[in-house]
């Protein structure tokens, strides 16, 4: 019997890709790469970029071939060795320590009321600043930061501290250009987070609450693991809800017919959330490493190969979605990869869904009548490792 399976091929090189082009708008680059091959070697970022949905899904489900514990990880350098860069069983120990704080029941019974209070504060501040205020930096960012501050248990810090820590440390995790100034800012924030954790752990051991640090203070988790995991949480736990909220509103304001439907039917808030994270994944790429020589979707990869799992590309794969470049809240449901998968499925997913789709979106659409973008000062979206709105002035009636 003759096999009809295609022979494996060597990985093509995409030496035409540049980091500035990726930062400005990666999606045309992703379209070209997906059409050519599921994986490319990209010299500019010194890794193999995986842009095909099937290949990204395979990597996330197969930890035996594709390890999260990457050698020379930028995330390890910026934040320490967190659960995101561990495989099971070590990963599971750290992951389980987060369960009580972030599970849906705790969010519903405890955190939703806090999210609503914070939303009231920062939506009122946006209103007070008046039309022309920046939706991202005057509302979405401080709202997400204050939620995260309380979830983590940083009663000795401000939401402004959380924003600075988050941005500088995630800049480190995406510092593929090896910019020394980026590393210096990341290291400063990392040291500040260590000091804040060291101060809060004994306090929360005596004065427990629902926060992550409170739960960790009574667990036999090494201090270095606590530090690394909290830094990882500060990164993804702030930029994800901030960027999803801003991107949803931007998408709806540029698709007025869908905005009208969402305003008429509150049940569509969650559909808009899920379509937004598919359309623009807030965490656009994360690393994996090949354990042994292997073949991925017909492409040969050597042992030790450092991969970039490009969720921002996989979530627009035309083999999975019709017209994937278009934002469409009425799109038939299919599982996207914006929150990862397998053992590393994002632990903060339910927090993001609750704080954005259940709390923030209904209030924004109800309390800012005639919400619209500033035609004289257009919005700007940017990024590829992390992507979101970086400038978004708005007006309302």
DSSP assignment of 118-169: HHHHHHHHHHHH-TT-BHIIIIIHHHHHHHHHHHHT-TTS-HHHHHHHHHHH
Q: How far is CA 264 from the centre of its chain?
A: 29
Position 59 scores a pLDDT of 96
Position 346 scores a pLDDT of 80
Position 1 scores a pLDDT of 40
Position 344 scores a pLDDT of 77
**Is 197 in a helix, a strand, or coil?**
helix
Position 6 scores a pLDDT of 65
Position 174 scores a pLDDT of 84
Position 138 scores a pLDDT of 98
Position 2 scores a pLDDT of 41
Tens-digit pLDDT profile for the chain (397 aa)?
444 446 899 999 999 999 999 999 999 999 999 999 999 999 999 999 999 999 999 999 999 999 999 998 888 899 999 888 888 888 888 888 777 788 889 999 999 999 999 999 999 999 999 999 999 999 999 999 999 999 999 999 999 999 999 999 989 988 888 999 999 999 999 999 999 999 999 999 999 999 999 998 888 889 999 999 999 999 888 999 999 999 999 999 999 999 999 999 999 999 999 999 999 999 999 999 999 999 999 999 999 999 999 999 999 999 999 999 999 999 998 899 999 877 777 878 889 999 999 999 999 999 999 999 999 999 999 999 999 999 999 999 9
- CA distances (Å), origin 128, targets 121, 132, 133, 139, 297: 11, 11, 9, 11, 53
- CA distances (Å), origin 73, targets 172, 255, 284: 10, 39, 17
What domains lie within the chain, and their CATH numbers? 19-395 (1.10.630.10)
Among residues 278, 228, 236, 245, the alpha carbon closest in space to that of 118 is found at 245
Instruction: Give the 3-state secondary structure of 332-386.
Output: CCCCCCCCCCHHHCCCCHHHHHHHHHHHHHHHHHHHCCCCEECCCCCCEEECCCE
Position 26 scores a pLDDT of 98
């Amino acid at each position: 019997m003759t096999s009809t399976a295609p022979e494996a091929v060597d990985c093509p090189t995409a030496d035409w890709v540049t980091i500035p082009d990726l930062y400005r708008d990666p999606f045309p680059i992703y379209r070209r790469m997906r059409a050519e091959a599921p994986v490319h070697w990209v010299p500019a970022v010194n890794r193999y970029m995986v842009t095909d949905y099937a290949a990204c899904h395979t990597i996330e489900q197969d930890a035996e071939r594709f390890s999260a514990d990457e050698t020379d990880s930028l995330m390890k350098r910026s934040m320490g060795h967190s659960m995101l860069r561990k495989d099971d069983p070590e990963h599971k120990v750290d992951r389980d320590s987060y369960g009580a704080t972030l599970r849906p029941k705790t969010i519903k019974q405890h955190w939703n009321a806090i999210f609503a209070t914070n939303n009231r504060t920062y939506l009122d501040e946006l209103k007070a600043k008046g039309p022309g205020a920046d939706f991202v930096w005057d509302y979405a960012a401080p709202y997400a930061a204050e939620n995260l501050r309380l979830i983590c248990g940083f009663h000795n810090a401000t939401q402004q501290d959380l924003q600075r820590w988050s941005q500088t440390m995630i800049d480190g995790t995406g510092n593929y250009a090896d910019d020394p100034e980026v590393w210096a800012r990341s290291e400063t924030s990392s040291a500040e987070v260590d000091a804040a954790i060291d101060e809060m752990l004994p306090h929360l051991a005596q004065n427990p609450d629902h926060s992550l640090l409170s739960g960790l203070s009574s667990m036999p988790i090494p201090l270095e693991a606590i530090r690394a995991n909290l830094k990882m949480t500060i990164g993804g736990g702030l930029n994800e809800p901030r960027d999803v909220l801003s991107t949803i509103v931007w998408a709806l304001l540029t698709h007025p017919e869908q905005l009208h439907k969402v305003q008429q039917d509150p049940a569509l808030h969650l559909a808009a959330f899920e379509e937004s994270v598919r359309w623009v994944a807030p965490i656009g790429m994360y690393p994996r490493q090949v354990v042994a020589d292997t073949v991925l979707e017909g492409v040969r990869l050597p042992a030790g190969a450092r991969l970039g799992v490009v969720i921002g590309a996989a979530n627009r794969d035309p083999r999975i979605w019709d017209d994937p470049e278009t934002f469409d809240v009425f799109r038939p449901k299919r599982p996207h990869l914006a929150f990862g998968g397998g053992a590393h499925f994002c632990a903060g997913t339910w927090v993001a869904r609750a704080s954005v789709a259940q709390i923030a979106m209904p209030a924004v659409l109800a309390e800012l009548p005639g919400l619209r973008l500033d035609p004289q000062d257009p919005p700007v979206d940017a990024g590829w490792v992390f992507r979101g709105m970086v400038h978004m002035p708005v007006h309302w009636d």
